[in-house]
Amino acid sequence: MSVWNNPLSKAEEEQMHPDALAILKHFQLERLPVEGTLYKNTYVSENKNPDGTPIGTAMIGMYTETPFSASCFHCLKYDEIWHVYGGDPFNLILLYPDGSSKEVLMGSNPLNGEHIQFVVPAKVWQAGSLNPGGRYALFGCSMAPGFSGAIFEAADQQKLIHQYPQHKDDILRLNLVAGETHMPNDFTQ
């Protein structure tokens, strides 16, 4: 059994909503490389694709305002299925290759227009964050073929702003990448 390395400083813990802190500790969430999302891998298939990557993966994640946890703009080579597990609503911002865009409200109240599950198509730039005033959003993502570092690309901020100028504020707010645009190739293997 591995030892959990709490990704938060004592000061960050003190600023975090108690409900979110309890979830962080319960699931022993960590920071996702490159993005910074609080996450935990929950399933990596033992069955492999011909290139050695898993045929399926699943993870849980949590968005918070304090400390800030969100998904930077990134795209994947395969479809990704998002699932809501609890907490407060959050938004996914999708930027399509044809220049169009879509905001998807994720949450646990489908009668209020919230999606409890949503498929983000392959090669669509996506980012997500907790809606203002929320405590936390607990969600999951699953993929088949499975997630690996080789299928992930974080956006170059300036290129994305040039292609989607109407989303400049979102791109600047959710550009969490500190120069790194690729995950380690062996991530989730």
Please report which confidence band the pLDDT of residue 183 belongs to, taking 50, 70 and 90 as the band edges.
confident
Lowest-pLDDT range of 2-6, 111-115, 135-139? 2-6
The total number of structural domains in the chain stands at: 1
| Domain that includes residue 156, residue range | 32-173
- 67 lies in some domain: yes
pLDDT, position 179: 67
- 182 lies in some domain: no
Measured between alpha carbons, how far is 38 from 85 in angstroms, rounded to an integer? 14
- 186 lies in some domain: no
- 26 lies in some domain: no
Query: Whole-structure pTM over 0.85, yes or no?
Result: yes
Q: What is the mean pLDDT of the chain?
A: 92
Query: For residues 148 and 89, which has the higher predicted lDDT (pLDDT)?
Result: 89
